[in-house]
Structure 1
Amino acid sequence: MVKSLAFVRHLHRNGCDRIIFSSSASIYQAEDGSPVNEGSPLAPQSPYARTKAVCEQMFADIAVAGPRVLSLRYFNPVGADPELRTGLQLKRPSHALGVLIQAHQEGRQFPITGTNYPTRDGSGIRDYVHVWDLAAAHIAAVERFDSILTGSKRSIAINLGTGSGTTVRELCAAFNNVVSTPLATIDADPRPGDVAGGYTKSDRAAELLGWTPKLSPEDGIRSALDWIPVRDELLKD
């Protein structure tokens, strides 16, 4: 955070008065499976989330008399560049899709941990958004920055998600729509600390950025799977 502050000071000193900050939806108190908007309560639960929340507040304070700041709060990014020029470099990522892919590759059942949450099918819910849609949102933020932050408005946050979310069962079903050999699942008890999760209302992104996601969970899964052999070839050394 100290380096973030120093970086903003450097930008301001050199005449840069527009900042787009990559924030995170992990700062929300999203635990009961319901949607959140930009005014929903914040309750970061990890060091990563706390740094995002603190930086957002710090930048908002700076924006009163310094550079204007647009904070984009990502939900759960999935997928890879559709042209496979880049993607996630970790071989064993810990997010849900990464664990799903590992289980499929190893012929194991995928445990659906928690089946009695207050969601549409009882499994946890998250908001998976394709990285290519996130890239498009950033372009829109750059192009519309001055029309969004005008006059006395110096800072704003915008959620970037699908607006509907995807449950764990739905994610597994989407995965099986993509692969040739179906993934087997098994219901399991929730892990310590697990919560139902949540997803975003995307009204502000549609209104201010003219942005809505175009790619489906299946698109994210397909590009993530297609990226794996390319990644392994590029990183084999």
Structure 2
Amino acid sequence: MFADIAVAGPHVLSLRYFNPVGADPQLRTGLQLMRPSHALGVLIQRHQEGRSFPITGTNYPTRDGSGIRDYVHVWDLAAAHIAAIERFDSILVESKRSIAINLGTGSGTTVRELCDAFNNVVSTPLETVDTDPRPGDVAGGYTKSDRAAELLGWMPKLSLEDGIRSALDWIPVHDKLLKD
């Protein structure tokens, strides 16, 4: 769609990413939902409630059988957006009116690895329980970010643990700012 739009006039640079995690390290902003439904949000909620976290699907063709996704810290994404603005003109020359750039780790994280990273950050480990896959779930996927490194000079710098930690740090601020 963006390529078609670019033929008609404006240049288009599309940044594509999946599963942003974390908050601004200075806690000026973060997730705005009171009850998020994404994996990290559910992990945090289950931990706060003292309930186990369901790992939905454990027979996928991944490193450990659990689904795999690409989690990238929102602060790294912010840096990629700045790099895209700064390099926009040099990236999109007349011969290339539209381009998509994937932003991610390039290796992905399984649900079990996400739970392990979460438990590395919190003081009280979260229990997990293996469950059946949800209808329609797939093994997952992650980005190939070579183009981001080449064109933007960008690679993620913050770890998954950094994202989890900042998401947890954001909760008290979030609770003061937002009401149900």
So what's the TM-score if we normalise by structure 1?
A: 0.74
Cα distance in 2 between the residues matched to 1:63 and 1:236: 41
Cα distance in 1 between the residues matched to 2:160 and 2:78: 16
Distance 1:191-1:65 versus aligned 2 partners, 3 A rule: closer
Cα distance in 1 between the residues matched to 2:75 and 2:100: 20
Q: Which runs of 4+ in 1 moved over 2 A?
A: none
Residue number in structure 2 paired with 1:213: 156
CA contact (8 A) 2:104 2:142 kept: yes
For 1:236, what is the secondary structure of its paired residue? Answer: coil
CA contact (8 A) 1:110 1:184 kept: yes
For 1:159, what is the secondary structure of its paired residue? Answer: strand
CA contact (8 A) 1:109 1:185 kept: yes
Aligned-pair CA distance for 1:65: 3.6
Do structure 1's residue 159 and structure 2's residue 102 form an aligned pair? yes
Aligned-pair CA distance for 1:95: 0.2
Aligned-pair CA distance for 1:195: 1.0
Cα distance in 1 between the residues matched to 2:98 and 2:65: 37
Which of residues 111, 118, 123 in structure 2 aligns to 1:175?
A: 118
So what's the TM-score if we normalise by structure 2?
A: 0.97
Unpaired runs of 5+ residues, structure 2, are none
Instruction: Report percent identity of matched pairs.
Output: 91
Which protein, 1 or 2, shows the higher relative CO under an 8 Å CA cutoff with sep ≥ 6? 2
For 2:96, what is the secondary structure of its paired residue? Answer: coil
CA contact (8 A) 1:75 1:159 kept: no
Aligned-pair CA distance for 1:91: 1.2
Cα distance in 1 between the residues matched to 2:179 and 2:135: 36
Cα distance in 1 between the residues matched to 2:76 and 2:123: 26
Query: C-alpha deviations, 1:88-139, integer Å up to 9, x for none?
Result: 1111100000011111011111111111100001000000000000000000
Aligned-pair CA distance for 1:236: 4.2
Cα distance in 2 between the residues matched to 1:117 and 1:61: 36
Cα distance in 2 between the residues matched to 1:83 and 1:211: 21
